[in-house]
Amino acid sequence: MKKISFLTIFLAVALVCGAQKPVELRLNLQKGKTFTQNMDIKMNIKIEMMGMKIDTDVPFFTKISYKVLDIQNNNFVLECTYQEMKMSMDILGQKISFDSSDKKQDFDDNPIASFFSSFIGKSFKMTLDKYQNIVSIEGLDEIFASMVENGKHLDGQKEQMKNMIKEILGEEKIKENFSSSNIIFPKEPVKVGSTWETDNVKSLQGINMQVKNQFKIEKITAKKIEISSVSEYSMNLSVNENGQDVSVIMKDAKATGNYVINPKTGWTISSKTNADMAMVASTMGIEVPMQIIMEIVVK
């Protein structure tokens, strides 16, 4: 009897697993609905140069709301608004510590923080297709121009500040951050064990690197779809800066991630990515090893 019971259970499990229907990963958002994502980035940068070791931590937090304004030809037009922002970093030789939720901070002593604070509450449009590819982003240039014009104590630095804000919050950076926390869906239906790959380009301190991603379906239930990812980064750059040849080679760079997707809407419930990137910059016979360790948590 024990053998029969075990065999019966085994067959029942096999039939249930084998009968699993493939599902389509697609965005299915309703007009008028608003989604919110909190992105918490912790980045550590280690540099060895001329016998010195430099260790820098760069934390960055944003809270962004996405309101579905319209649905056009299976594309979703979203109104994106930065609700909160926190950062601590060195920019232009000046240390900035900014928290948009802190109403007591003195912007007169920190004009750059005042500049960033004016981004809070401003909205731009982002259009996604049903696979979660970004089709277009509109309205950022108008926001940046307004920020620069209204910025305090920026005389003689407005163009410099405009370029800086584009590097941190510009269209390419928004695309990168969104793709780091949201998956490009495959066109084919998937089931547990299904895998697919995507290739894209990311910018690291203004330098482009190639990224190859592989995703795998780990679990499917009525309430969530769990997906894992493994990414490999590559870079082999040679440029001439002010008459000097500079090369940057990425020797060992990988990332792993986990995503939880709402099967009804296709929206990302949460995600976590850990990356470790080692590279060497060389110029005039001098090698500068660098390592960047990053954790990105979205929920």
The residues spanned by each domain of the chain are 27-298
Digit-coded pLDDT (tens) for 165-220: 777 778 888 888 888 788 999 999 999 999 999 987 776 656 677 889 999 999 99
- Across 3-7, 18-22, 163-167, least confident range: 3-7
196 touches 210 (CB < 8 A): no
What are the E-state strand segments in the chain? Answer: 34-49, 52-72, 75-91, 94-99, 123-128, 134-138, 195-204, 207-220, 225-234, 236-241, 244-261, 268-283, 286-298
CATH number of 27-298: 2.30.230
pLDDT at 238: 79
Q: Hey, CA dihedral for 205, 90, 171, 158, is it positive or negative? A: negative
pTM of the model: 0.83
Residue 207 CA to residue 213 CA, distance in Å, equals 19
Residue 110 has pLDDT above 80, yes or no: no
pLDDT at 112: 65
Determine the average pLDDT of the residues in 75-85. 95
